[in-house]
Amino acid sequence: MSAMPNLETRTTVENGLVFMRDVAVTMSDGVTLRANVFRPEAPGRYPVVMAMGAYGKDVHFEDAFNPQWQVLKRIYPGLDTEGSTGRYLRWEVVDPERWVPEGFVVIQVDSRGTGRSEGYLDPFGPVETRDFYEWIEWAGTQPWSNGKVGLIGVSYLAIKQWQVAALRPPHLAAIVPWEGSSEFYRDGGHHGGILSNSFTFEWWPRQVLANQYGSGKSTHRDRLTGERTTGPALSDELLEGSRADHPNDRLSHPLDDAWNRARAANLPAIEVPLLSAANWGGPGMHLRGNFEGWLRAGSRQKWLFAHIGTHYESFYLPHYVAIQQRFFKHFLAGEDNGWDREPPVQLAIRHADGTAEMRTEQEWPLACTAWTPFHLDAADGSLGDVPPRGAGRASFEAMGEGLSFSTAPFAQDTEFTGPAVLRLWVSSSTTDADLFVVLRVFDPDGQEMSYVGAHERVPMAMGWLRASHRKLDPARSLPWRPWHAHDEVQKLVPGEAYPVEVEIWPTCLVFPKGWRLVLTVQGHDFIVTPPGRMRHDHPEDRPVAEFGGVTTVLTGGDHDSRLLMPLIPARR
């Protein structure tokens, strides 16, 4: 074992900011976790904003996520030169130099088994969530705290917010889950019952194991001290025995079983005010979670905010930081700044050219929605206003090109904002079939448009379903959002037709006059820019013998396959 680095709390003061490094708190089971605490130098009691995650509280954003850093710097050159030196910037957490001067204490906690925190590493697990509860209660009772703690962060750090808020820590006063899934199985692990493997299997070694507590192989160094950010170097055997095998845990739990449910947030139990920030361009993981989290959370005071742009610019740009701080100043500091009178739904209405304009609403889905069916016709590949006159069928090789169905050019500017559903009749040459459903945008010249996504270019919207997971939970399904039970596998009889409902994640787009909506149904991932970040291609989850067959779509007659779209009438 290498020499033990200094893990005692070290405090520095600079430009009115007190930096307490490696603050240690012992959990109820005796394991010690550590955090960095940033607070104003002036004596007083301040509101606290906090995050817990696995990416290393001492790992600089630029060092761990250099490509994203370069993109963000191009978008926002003042990130580390205007109002901040950037020295404390970490991936997906707030910049202390922009928050402490506004009267906040900022706390960044290394989750159990990561960074400088000891213990068994089990991402998103219930023990990690209990740790977060204990940290919130610690922060709420410190002499520099006003007793009100808010949570903020992106992705992993947003998922943890949904989870711990459901436990109702007494000192938790508000949360801002920014682009973070709330339904562990449906949002991230298994889309429509199909394992979302590429992110998990690549994320695990790159973003988690690289930050495991005791990793002597980690290349991450604290820029301010030169020390390894993962504490003392431990043996490979000890490291392996000190962590779960998260990717294979995902693979070995293909249904929404007890393991998955233990990691799902109990959304109705959440009571604190919340601001749920969704990204229209994040269809592979978090988009659904922010909408469902807002819908199902028990909070009386809750706001839904949907934006465009990359995963990181939509958190760090000054406009968004101002929104976050205004929300917290109201609910943590008691400032009467009018936030409580803000409309509960604020949406960036996307246009076909990739621009957007903000619009406020009172509910989601929008009360004015005209739920409009577009009927599939296998004979001519159309999406029509009325069912086709006759029955039809069309087939595709599951691993090859799929089928596409197009509307006529729209006669006027046409807005779709909301969730969508594909009600499809389908058969397979095998005992199962995976359906990858895509909403696409084409201009009058036949040129397809794609959009800036959270991490890569994306189509208008996507949805997924494994046919053997078609069973619905009638108590939780809605006409505009089917809820699949995912509690049993119902194999297909080859050649027999079955009705299925595919949930298409929320979307928003205004089609100009003359543009077309195209629905594509295929048996593999739709990727705009290869290789794609959110792939579903694990050979154990999708053996070719079963998922490489021929899929047939039936339309018309007794098999009225139709796409239900959220048409928003023109506003005068």
In this prediction, residue 6 carries a pLDDT of 55
Q: What is the pTM of this model?
A: 0.96
Q: Beta-strand (E) ranges in 429-549? A: 434-442, 448-449, 461-466, 498-511, 516-522
396-423 mean pLDDT: 97
- 153 shares a domain with 104: yes
List, for residues 127-185, the tens digit of each pLDDT value: 999 999 999 999 999 999 999 999 999 999 999 999 999 999 999 999 999 999 999 99
Is 555 inside a domain boundary? yes
Q: How confident is the model at residue 2 (pLDDT cuts 50, 70, 90)?
A: very low
Three-state SS at 404: strand
Which one, of 257, 295, 322, lies nearest residue 102 by Cα?
322
Q: What average pLDDT does this structure show over 100-120?
A: 98
DSSP 484: B
Say whether both 241 and 377 belong to one domain: no
pLDDT of residue 180: 95
pLDDT score, position 69: 97
165 and 26 co-located in one domain: yes
Q: Is the pLDDT of residue 572 over 90?
A: no
CATH number at residue 153: 3.40.50.1820
Q: Is 189 left (phi over 0), alpha (psi -120 to 50) or beta?
A: alpha
As a whole number of angstroms, the distance between CA 204 and CA 143 comes to 38
Report the number of distinct structural domains present in the chain.
2
pLDDT of 97 above 70: yes
338 and 383 in a single domain? The answer is no
pLDDT of 5 higher than 70: no
Percent of residues in the chain assigned helix, strand, coil, to nearest 5 = 20, 30, 45
Same domain, 248 and 385: no
Residue 1: which pLDDT band, with cuts at 50, 70 and 90? very low
Q: Residue 105 sits in which domain range?
A: 10-178+194-253+312-342
- Are residues 338 and 387 located together in one domain of the fold? no
> Is 259 a member of any domain?
no
Q: Taking all residues of the chain, what is their mean pLDDT, rounded to a whole number?
A: 96
Whether the Cβ atoms of residue 33 and residue 24 lie closer than 8 Å to each other: yes
In sequence order, what are the beta bridge partners of 228? 221
Section 245-254 average pLDDT: 96
Position 3 pLDDT exceeds 90: no
pLDDT computed for residue 4 by the predictor = 42
Residues 61 and 116 in one domain: yes
Give the pairing type, strands 32-40 and 105-110. Answer: antiparallel
Percent with pLDDT over 70 in the chain: 99
- In a shared domain, residues 55 and 161: yes
Residue 268 lies in a domain: no
